[in-house]
A and B are shown apart, each in its own frame.
Chain A
Amino acid sequence: MDPECARLLPALCAVLADPRQPVADDTCLEKLLDWFKAVTEAGSSLLLLQENPCLVELLFHVLKPQDLSSRILSFALRLAGTFAAQENCFQYLQQGELLPGLFGEHGPLGAAAWAAPTVRSGWIQGLRSLAQHPSALLFLADSGAVDTIFSLQGDPSLFVASAAGQLLVHVLDLAMRGPAKGHGRLQAQDWPACAQRIVCHLEDCLCSEAAPRVTQALHVLTTAFGHCHGLWTQGLWVQLSPLVARLLEKDPMPAPHALVELLLSVARSSVPSSNPGLWETAAQTLSRLSPMQAGPLAAGILKLQDCPQALRTQAFGVLLRPLACVLEATAQAPGTPGLLEGAAGDPMAVDMLPPSKSACVGLLCSTLAHLELLQPLPQRPSPWPQAPLLAAAVTILRFCNGSAAPSSEVGGRLCAMLVGCVRVQRAALDFLGVLSQGLGPRELVTQVFAVLLEYLMSPDSSPTVLKKAFQATLRWLLSSAVPPGCCDLEPRAQLVLRELLAVLQKRLCSPCWEVRDSGLEFLTQMTRRWGGQAGFRQTLLASEVPKLASQLLQDPESYVRASAVAAAGQLSSQGLLAAPSSPEHPAGPQKTPLEELLLVLTTDSEGFPRRAAMRVFTEWLRDGHMAVAEDRERFMARVLQAASGDLDWEVRVQGLELALIFLQQLLGARSPGAAPPGALAQALRALCRVQLFEFAFRSLFDCDRPVAQKSCDLLLFLRAKAAPSSSPQEAGDSPDVAPVEAALQRWRAGEQGQPLGELAPEAVLAVLRSMDLEALRDTLAESSDHVERSPQSLLQDVLAAVGVLGDNEADCY
């Protein structure tokens, strides 16, 4: 601990111990605890207490009956726990009977303060910190704390109850870790007394008729198997698994969700390697739970790396069953081969769909979400039933838009429940999109495109559904390339494209801005992918889409304008942008795309479109867009001028990124080391002409740190390229750097309005070399509050807040 902090500590302890001076800010106490934790982890707690007796005094002070706030009491409990985590310090505190006073029956536990959840939470967290060594175990056993922890599991405060459960696991782990060392697996009767008590308690809970107690025990066990990796966990499962299995026989089954969590937690632990009985329990559970409850267990099982094939098959069956029902509901002939052989014709299976709309929708959504997550995993079930899954997704989407033809009563019910259901539509479209990773029978893929087009065309599709439909369509178009990875669209996709552009045309005119926005995003992505392909170009140019996209540069909604900028940039890159004309100015002079986007950059009142314009310009410069290549310097000068004066820091950063690319293009990014002198001189002159230096130097003092950092990187790159040997400075007289340095001084002082004027390349280089850019970079790399985050500042803040330091000098952050 640094001396300044040590000096402030007594005053701090006095403030904390004084009930008349409440510490207003809770976060201060948290920060203090973090700091003490860091200090004790770095050194000896005992030494800390001996050198700063005020800390022990503070803890003793808390024990006195008085009107201390519950927050300070909680703080003291946690602080004591932090100190007592080291065994010698624990002994030291034990000597003074401090720990029994704080954590025993005569402490806050028996006082009125216990009613405050924050005190109970502090008590638990204090013990959690303290319980790190065998002495702590003895203390816990002797002080009766374990019983209190048991009762706190049912605490009305969820935070306290959950922390109690975790503490129990921690204590159990601590108890079992010691004897387990070197002994391998112990028999239950050899477990330490403390562990036996806890396990006994868990057994009682598991046998209890009260569902909350069962849930508590299951939560504790879930945490234990999730966080403890000792061999003892295997013994624990052997001991408790019969009780868990017995829960399955109860009707109704208590705490099904917690049970699923436990089984998955055990399955992911080391238990299954020694105890294959777990799989049997999991299989039983799968068959006992309702479809909605079984879904998470089935999905969890399928994500496991190692698990018996039979169980995986069963779990996959559980997940597929709702979709099998959907397929069956539209099957023309009963018993049509579906997702689940055998189950398809089983009337019981069809009836498994819940009768209420909300339950049915919930089941379908969660099933689709599970399968969506499963699809890309390497351990997904094999063979993956791609075709029936595709058919199921298409059928669900058709139920949702009312176009499915149900073949049974269940189908009719399903139809009534799903029509217009946006939740299911979103889930099914997401799933359909993921399924594009696999192939499907030709007629099914045709159906996929047909249903996607139906959704894109339907006036009833909500904006979010439409966005997802666009995304899924893009994925399917991408997967339709023949051969895979090729740029060309297959003939069928080409046909779809024509209809797609007709829809897109209409969607770009939608009164709903979200729809226009997703339409533009879709267009940008399509153009990026197929802009060079003749079929696509032909179809796109035959439509109104490019014209509409450039008209949307004037959209009243800034997000749409930003998307329009991106689309126009991409279309222009591919030479697909028609000259924009609106019905308002049908015969007006037509601007080039570059001018259009420059207009956005210089005049748009919102940041998003301006940022988008900068991104497009960066891309254009990088890719050598024709409009840029014509006169690169003029382009740079105009864009940099606009970007340097922009109020949005992201635009300025983008401007510096653009400048960096320009620089790299002039000086060669790939070639390491200095640039040849001739090229450098030429480049410097060009940089001066586009006024890049004024922008870069000014940005060094930008009030937004990312801008200054970017500028620093840019100038460092330039300096590295302009090695001393290649300096043009050596050839002539020493340049006059005074005006530049004067301007820099002014900017540093905040007078940003001052212009730099004409710059000589030599002067720039001289200034560049004289600047300590590395130091500046290091300063900028530190967070802006690095001074204010010091412990000293924290102590001063706490003291200042209660007026101990006289004037209020607290940092305002």
Chain B
Amino acid sequence: MLDCGLDMTSTLNFLPLPLVQSPRLSNLPGWSLKDGNVFLDKELKECSGHVFVDSVPEFCLPETELIDLSTVDVILISNYHCMMALPYITEHTGFTGTVYATEPTVQIGRLLMEELVNFIERVPKAQSASLWKNKDIQRLLPSPLKDAVEVSTWRRCYTMQEVNSALSKIQLVGYSQKIELFGAVQVTPLSSGYALGSSNWIIQSHYEKVSYVSGSSLLTTHPQPMDQASLKNSDVLILTGLTQIPTANPDGMVGEFCSNLALTVRNGGNVLVPCYPSGVIYDLLECLYQYIDSAGLSSIPFYFISPVANSSLEFSQIFAEWLCHNKQTKVYLPEPPFPHAELIQTNKLKHYPSIHGDFSNDFRQPCVVFTGHPSLRFGDVVHFMELWGKSSLNTVIFTEPDFSYLEALAPYQPLAMKCIYCPIDTRLNFIQVSKLLKEVQPLHVVCPEQYTQPPPAQSHRVDLMVDCQPPAMSYRRAEVLALPFKRRYEKIEIMPELADSLVPMEIKPGISLATVSAVLHTKDNKHVLQPPPRPAQPTGGKKRKRASDDIPDCKVLKPLLSGSIPVDQFVQTLEKHGFSDIKVEDTAKGHIVLLQEAETLIQIEEDSTHIICDDDEVLRVRLRDLVLKFLQKF
């Protein structure tokens, strides 16, 4: 199984979970059907024309119907965002296999899960809505609830216990490490340049190579650069995890982010940045580190609020070997690789596990707050949206591309605060993909259907699709796809003693042949030729115990023949040996030599020779020996 991501956009259908009692949210009117029926008013609430489920948020799991997940042997994880559904798979499907991921992926993935669990669990909600999921009722609901797919499979968040159990099934791997899977294939993670520890995977046998390219980046940000060279010579390249906002250039967006931040703060407003606790936030803090002095913002406090804020900031500093070259060299100076250490030291950046406790004492405005969750449905961000939403001086800047910012904002309407959308997605865009594919030259590219056509809203932008030759094979949800290659060869090893006994004979310059008699031993997808067992000694009339003990008979081997018969010389030889009245006929496949006197026919073809004579065994053997003179034996 390649990756194990969790679709969290389902949570956008739910009401936010406020940390502090919100009169506005709790007083939202219940939703009633057009005919005035109010049986759903406890479950569904209406806010500015949108309907939300008033319940604990639920997540959309990976497809479980199509395949029995208990039969999955291995899950390969590309990056920490692509493992968020792991507890659902490892704990509830009978999965008994192994999960492979790099160390930073696991550590930061743990932080993301921990944050998610914490966000949900610290605001317990008594109510759990399920009535609306009834298919007959769902049909009656307004969009987008009406159009939500597979709502019956949506699940509440996992627990910390499940997270720990799931993570314990992960086997840590390093870049370029070769991992044997059942002898059948070898998998290798390669740096993908997108996030700390993020990987692309190579899955290869002796004769086939499949590359799995997931979230990758060619930009110079904090992680180790993408390893492109190792992706060369792939039979198939599975391409996914491209940028979600191909029209937004990350550099431009960072500039936009800084400008809007400065503009708001200079006017005395606060800036709220809904974000994940790891990833782009490191780069944003680094940009701000350089920018705040120049923008005259050095006295503005920056707050990073997350249950895992401290761990995230500290972890980032210890994964030196997974960082880009510049940051790695800093470690030897020794300096912390990320400048946020200095921001913390100089008190410009402060971090807190939540808004409760120390934060409320230190809180000063105007300020900049980085906090989760980017869906605006849970986490400390909900509090700040409620707190700052009423003033047009404040700004919320969306940097994470995973959620539609308009949908995220829907339950906060009407909203006076300014909203800026600066999605920073460093993953590959289509121009980079086409350069990558030209460089790597896979025989076939396989990618989601969406990548093979321009975005529906910009159908004229033919530059916003994967452009390669031959055209990429596309797949859609629940489609079963046969990868375009056939396995033709297997590698077989020969035991040394058997190899010793071989007598190769050169039949053409550079090509030698040898006959091999051996036993082919196959175990764990490894094939070994072993010397044949010696013929069994007669057992003195004892009956064999079982038929399976039977050892194959080793008959005396006849030599193998090679070469071709030159017809003219063969005829001359026949004449020398007293045959006369010889006639040669050409056929489509070779020749027929007719010994009319002896009433015998010799059919000479490319790969066979037949002597057809009438019950004259002596003649046949004579002729056979004459034929054999022209052939090599070994």
A residues in contact (CB < 8 Å) with B: 402, 404-406, 411-413, 415-416, 419-420, 458-461, 505-507, 509-513, 515, 544, 547-548, 551, 554-557, 582-584, 586
B294 engages A544 (CB within 8 Å): no
Name the residue on A nearest B465 (C-beta). A416
List the B side residues contacting A420 at CB < 8 Å. 249
B298 at the interface (CB under 8 A from A): yes
Neighbour of B296 across the interface among A402, A406, A413, A551, CB < 8 A: A551
B287 engages A511 (CB within 8 Å): yes
CA distance A544 to B259 in the complex (A): 13
List the B side residues contacting A458 at CB < 8 Å. 252
CA distance A354 to B413 in the complex (A): 51
List the B side residues contacting A515 at CB < 8 Å. 255
CB of B269, distance to nearest CB on chain A (Å):
10
Contact with A along B254-270 (1 / 0, CB 8 A): 11101110110111100
B463 engages A509 (CB within 8 Å): no
Contact with A along B285-305 (1 / 0, CB 8 A): 001001101111111100000
Which residues B241-255 have CB closer than 8 A to chain A? 247-249, 252-255
CA distance A474 to B255 in the complex (A): 24
A510 engages B258 (CB within 8 Å): yes
Query: Given A411-B460, A460-B252, do A511 and B266 touch, yes or no (CB 8 Å)?
Result: no
Name the residue on B nearest A404 (C-beta). B460
List the B side residues contacting A404 at CB < 8 Å. 460
CB of A12, distance to nearest CB on chain B (Å):
58
Name the residue on A nearest B267 (C-beta). A544
B263 engages A459 (CB within 8 Å): no
B587 at the interface (CB under 8 A from A): no
A419 engages B266 (CB within 8 Å): no
CB of B426, distance to nearest CB on chain A (Å):
15
Interface CB pairs A-B, < 8 A, 27: A402-B461, A402-B463, A411-B460, A415-B463, A416-B461, A416-B462, A419-B461, A419-B463, A420-B249, A459-B248, A459-B253, A460-B252, A461-B252, A506-B256, A506-B259, A507-B259, A510-B259, A511-B254, A511-B295, A512-B255, A515-B255, A548-B263, A556-B293, A583-B268, A584-B297, A584-B298, A586-B268
Query: Given A554-B296, A583-B266, do A406 and B460 touch, yes or no (CB 8 Å)?
Result: yes
List the B side residues contacting A406 at CB < 8 Å. 460
Neighbour of A459 across the interface among B256, B268, B297, CB < 8 A: B256
A584 engages B293 (CB within 8 Å): no
Contact with A along B390-408 (1 / 0, CB 8 A): 0000000000000000000
Given contacts A406-B460, A419-B461, A460-B252, 7 further A-B contacts (CB under 8 A): A413-B462, A511-B255, A511-B258, A513-B294, A556-B294, A583-B268, A584-B299
B463 engages A506 (CB within 8 Å): no
List the B side residues contacting A412 at CB < 8 Å. 460, 462
List the A side residues contacting B249 at CB < 8 Å. 420, 459-460
List the A side residues contacting B252 at CB < 8 Å. 458-461
List the A side residues contacting B366 at CB < 8 Å. 583
Name the residue on A nearest B249 (C-beta). A460
CB of A437, distance to nearest CB on chain B (Å):
32
A402 engages B255 (CB within 8 Å): no
Name the residue on B nearest A544 (C-beta). B267
CB of A371, distance to nearest CB on chain B (Å):
26
B255 engages A459 (CB within 8 Å): yes
Q: Is the interface of A mostly helix, strand, loop or mixed?
A: loop
B422 at the interface (CB under 8 A from A): yes
Closest 7 CB pairs of A and B: A459-B252, A509-B262, A416-B463, A459-B256, A509-B259, A511-B258, A460-B252
A544 engages B263 (CB within 8 Å): yes
CB of B423, distance to nearest CB on chain A (Å):
11
List the A side residues contacting B299 at CB < 8 Å. 583-584
CA distance A807 to B302 in the complex (A): 70
List the B side residues contacting A507 at CB < 8 Å. 259
CA distance A506 to B257 in the complex (A): 10
List the A side residues contacting B253 at CB < 8 Å. 459
B458 at the interface (CB under 8 A from A): yes
CA distance A110 to B294 in the complex (A): 69
Number of B residues, CB within 8 Å of A: 35
CA distance A563 to B58 in the complex (A): 54
List the B side residues contacting A405 at CB < 8 Å. 460
Query: Given A582-B296, A583-B300, do A548 and B266 touch, yes or no (CB 8 Å)?
Result: yes
Name the residue on B nearest A547 (C-beta). B266
List the B side residues contacting A557 at CB < 8 Å. 294
Name the residue on A nearest B254 (C-beta). A511
CB of A374, distance to nearest CB on chain B (Å):
31
CA distance A505 to B295 in the complex (A): 13
CA distance A506 to B267 in the complex (A): 12
List the B side residues contacting A551 at CB < 8 Å. 266, 296
List the B side residues contacting A544 at CB < 8 Å. 263, 266-267
Query: Given A415-B460, A459-B249, A459-B252, do A509 and B295 touch, yes or no (CB 8 Å)?
Result: yes
CA distance A519 to B253 in the complex (A): 18
CA distance A511 to B291 in the complex (A): 6
CB of A184, distance to nearest CB on chain B (Å):
64
CB of B271, distance to nearest CB on chain A (Å):
12
Specify which of B259, B265, B299 lies most central, judged by the most chain A CB atoms within 10 Å of its CB: B259
CB of A520, distance to nearest CB on chain B (Å):
14
Specify which of A460, A511, A556, A557 lies most central, judged by the most chain B CB atoms within 10 Å of its CB: A511
Query: Given A583-B300, A584-B296, do A509 and B268 touch, yes or no (CB 8 Å)?
Result: no
Contact with A along B456-474 (1 / 0, CB 8 A): 0010111100000000000
List the A side residues contacting B263 at CB < 8 Å. 505-506, 509, 544, 548
CA distance A402 to B296 in the complex (A): 35
B461 engages A415 (CB within 8 Å): yes
A583 engages B265 (CB within 8 Å): yes
List the B side residues contacting A413 at CB < 8 Å. 462
List the A side residues contacting B260 at CB < 8 Å. 506, 509
List the B side residues contacting A416 at CB < 8 Å. 461-463
B259 engages A511 (CB within 8 Å): yes
List the B side residues contacting A554 at CB < 8 Å. 296
List the B side residues contacting A411 at CB < 8 Å. 460
B255 engages A510 (CB within 8 Å): yes
CA distance A458 to B256 in the complex (A): 9
Name the residue on A nearest B288 (C-beta). A511
List the A side residues contacting B256 at CB < 8 Å. 459, 506
Neighbour of A509 across the interface among B254, B258, B290, CB < 8 A: B258
List the A side residues contacting B296 at CB < 8 Å. 551, 554, 582-584
CA distance A406 to B256 in the complex (A): 29
Neighbour of A582 across the interface among B247, B266, B422, B458, CB < 8 A: B266
Name the residue on B nearest A560 (C-beta). B294
CA distance A444 to B461 in the complex (A): 24
Specify which of A413, A416, A548 lies most central, judged by the most chain B CB atoms within 10 Å of its CB: A416
CA distance A461 to B256 in the complex (A): 11
Name the residue on A nearest B461 (C-beta). A402
List the A side residues contacting B461 at CB < 8 Å. 402, 415-416, 419
CA distance A406 to B463 in the complex (A): 13
CA distance A511 to B293 in the complex (A): 11
CA distance A548 to B264 in the complex (A): 12
CA distance A405 to B462 in the complex (A): 11
List the A side residues contacting B295 at CB < 8 Å. 509, 511
Which residues B272-287 have CB closer than 8 A to chain A? 287
Query: Given A459-B248, A509-B295, A544-B266, do A415 and B462 touch, yes or no (CB 8 Å)?
Result: yes
Name the residue on B nearest A552 (C-beta). B296
CA distance A280 to B101 in the complex (A): 75
Neighbour of A402 across the interface among B265, B267, B297, B458, CB < 8 A: B458
List the B side residues contacting A402 at CB < 8 Å. 247, 458, 461, 463
CA distance A801 to B10 in the complex (A): 85
Specify which of A460, A461, A509 lies most central, judged by the most chain B CB atoms within 10 Å of its CB: A509
CA distance A547 to B268 in the complex (A): 13
Name the residue on A nearest B460 (C-beta). A406
Neighbour of B294 across the interface among A459, A461, A511, A548, CB < 8 A: A511
List the B side residues contacting A512 at CB < 8 Å. 255
CA distance A556 to B294 in the complex (A): 5
